[in-house]
């Protein structure tokens, strides 16, 4: 083989190496972009999960508060003497009947 043919082969080999490097760089850039997209999605999912957990906790506390309020009201009603409730009902009936309804 002559030197010129060896130089030509070396030149071809270098071109192949350059092309391979260029393709590898493109693949790496695409992979980095995809990884970044996936990480962003995961971060968004994590933020949403935390927001949902916080909202659930807030709703749980509100529900507990409402339940306690209703329990207190029910206890107050239960503690009201029944004869007092009957008297109040009788007064309401008399008032309604006195208006001719």
| pLDDT tops 80 at residue 1 | no
H helix runs in the chain, sequence order: 3-79, 82-98
Q: pTM of this prediction? A: 0.50
How far from 37 is each of 27, 42, 47, CA to CA, in Å? Answer: 15, 9, 15
Rounded to whole angstroms, how far apart are CA atoms 9 and 24? 22
pLDDT value at position 29? 96
- Which phi and psi (to 5°) does residue 99 adopt? -90, 0
Domain that holds residue 7: 3-98
Instruction: Provide the number of structural domains found in the chain.
Output: 1
pLDDT value at position 100? 64
Average pLDDT over residues 43-49: 92
């Amino acid at each position: 083989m002559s030197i010129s043919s060896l130089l030509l082969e070396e030149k071809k080999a270098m071109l192949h190496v350059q092309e391979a490097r260029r393709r590898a760089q493109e693949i790496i850039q695409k992979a980095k972009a995809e990884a970044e997209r996936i990480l962003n999605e995961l971060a968004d999912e994590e933020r949403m999960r935390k927001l949902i957990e916080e909202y659930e906790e807030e709703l749980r506390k509100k529900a507990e508060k409402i339940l306690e309020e209703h329990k207190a009201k029910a206890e107050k009603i239960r503690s009201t003497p029944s004869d007092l409730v009957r008297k109040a009902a009788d007064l309401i009936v008399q008032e309604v009947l006195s208006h001719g309804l």
